[in-house]
Amino acid sequence: MPTLAAVVVIIVIWILVTCVKIVPQAQAYIVERLGAYQGTWNVGVHFKVPFIDRVAKRVLLKEQVVDFPPQPVITKDNVTMQIDTVIFFQITDPKLFTYGVENPMLAIENLTATTLRNIIGELELDETLTSRETINTKMRATLDEATDPWGVKVNRVEVKNIMPPNAIRDAMEKQMKAERERREQILIAEGEKMSAILKAEGEKESAVLRAEAQKIELVKEAEGHAESIRLHKEAEADGIRAQQKAEADAVNMLKEAGLSTEQIVTLKSYEAFEKASDGQATKIIIPSEVQNLASLATTVKEIVK
């Protein structure tokens, strides 16, 4: 009997221990009582009624990522390609997730495939390759709305790979190669054009600078010649003024010596004949009255000196 009591106590303790449940962080437990939904256990310690309550499902509340295999789709211009998508979702209502649909992951995968086919069917090949953001936005909006009854929140949808047929890829590579060659030729032509323009501008600026240098040189030469002429004329004017002053002084001295105006004029005539005798003439005719003044002129010169 003691052994039977001990066994019973151990069984009771084991049953009580198994009725204690600890729900970890970011998880929720769906509890059923006699097959009916009883409640949702969140983080913490919970107790269940033995043999009546049971944990029907453990639900992960973290954001989850699902990478679905490539799906065959047909574009608007009848090109068949393979596209695989990645979905980021989070369970917001564990009860709806448990009882809303039989297999939530399979349902989301099929919904993603059909939605993708509908969107790609409205786009041509080139639009499909260049409109990933548009495809992602449309798919996220459609999937988020469709999965609300399942307690699922679709946060993001990304088109991972777009794989056109081999023939299309070969044609695209040839097109890209031709486009790169065209751009290369354009860049070479633009470079040659720019080089020719810069060379022409350089030659133009060089010619302008040479012309300006020649102009400055001619101006300087003209200014130098004009300055030389001015200085020469000033020297001649100074000589004439000096000569006139000397003559005026000589006349004044003659007048102070007591000579009359007539005698001074006669003396000047004599000086003119004296200058004429310094030339190439072989004969000079001197009037007799000038000869009479020879001695007087000699006397005057001595006085002037």
Quick one: average pLDDT of 205-222? 88
How far is residue 67 CA from its own chain's centroid?
40
- pLDDT exceeds cutoff 70 at 44: yes
Torsion, Cα of 289, 291, 297, 299 (10° steps): -110
Shortest CA distance to 40 belongs to which of 103, 97, 118, 84? 97
Identify whether residues 187 and 208 lie together within a single domain: yes
Q: Considering only the C-alpha atoms of the chain, give the largest distance between any 2 of them, rounded to a whole number of Å.
A: 198
Instruction: Provide, rounded to the nearest whole percent, the portion of the chain with pLDDT above 90.
Output: 34
Give the least confident one: 7-16, 203-212, 257-266: 257-266
More confident residue, 3 or 100: 100
Identify whether residues 71 and 156 lie together within a single domain: yes
Identify whether residues 181 and 129 lie together within a single domain: no
Structural domain boundaries, residue 288: 257-305
At residue 271, the pLDDT reads 60
More confident residue, 250 or 68: 68
Domain boundary among 60, 91, 106: 60
At residue 290, the pLDDT reads 47
Lookup: tokens for 192: 């040659």
* Interval 64-83: pLDDT, tens: 999 988 989 999 888 889 99
Quick one: average pLDDT of 143-172? 88
Lookup: tokens for 12: 């009771």
**pTM (2 decimals)?**
0.56
- pLDDT exceeds cutoff 70 at 8: yes
Domain boundary among 164, 184, 218: 164
Domain count for the chain:
4
Percentages helix, strand, coil for the chain, rounded to the nearest 5? Answer: 60, 20, 20
Shortest CA distance to 298 belongs to which of 275, 267, 276? 267
- pLDDT exceeds cutoff 90 at 97: yes
At residue 303, the pLDDT reads 47
Q: How far apart are CA 110 and CA 68, in angstroms?
A: 10
Q: How far apart are CA 62 and CA 228, in angstroms?
A: 103
Contact 270, 288 (CB under 8 A): no
Q: How far apart are CA 23 and CA 217, in angstroms?
A: 101
Q: How far apart are CA 43 and CA 4, in angstroms?
A: 38
Identify whether residues 173 and 155 lie together within a single domain: no
Q: How far apart are CA 76 and CA 36, in angstroms?
A: 49
Domain boundary among 114, 132, 164: 164
